[in-house]
Amino acid sequence: MIKKILIINGPNLNLLGEREENKYGNVTLDQLKKNCELYAKSNGLEVMFEQSNIEGEIVTMIQKAKNAFDAIIINAAGYTHTSVAILDALLAVKLPTIEVHITNIYNREEFRKKSLISKVAKGIICGFGINGYIMALDSMKDLNN
């Protein structure tokens, strides 16, 4: 049973609440973190919430998750479309992974419609704003390795 989940946020997500509010809303990353932690706690889950603008740091987070977490929720942001290194790290750790995007990546620019991370993800949640994180946490409760 999945109990311990690492939530990874990629580049520019530290600017939530002040960046393109028409696309990403006005909730800050700290508020999103609190929402996820409260939901997790009330549902018997434990979460660690991380953010980095640096691809290598995200790879390291994923690698360290192997023996410390049961699953990963990742919004790799711009790295979704470009990072073979993040894909390879997720493939290597073999943890159940859900990919999350605040916007609907299939409703945006052509280059955003391709996700390298989707190859390893058990599921993708996009277009539901920050509620996608709660949807991913809820999905984790019933996800099998």
In the numeric block, which tokens belong to residue 62?
């994923």
| CB-based contact 5:96 (threshold 8 Å) | no
How far apart are alpha carbons 17 and 30 in whole angstroms?
A: 10
For residue 99, give the 3-state DSSP assignment: strand
101 is catalytic: yes
Inter-CA distances, 136 with 36, 113, 121, Å: 10, 20, 11
Burial of residue 54 (number of CB atoms within 10 Å: 0-12, 13-18, 19+): exposed
Catalytic residue among 39, 79, 81, 101: 101
24 is catalytic: yes
- Positions annotated as catalytic residues are 24, 101
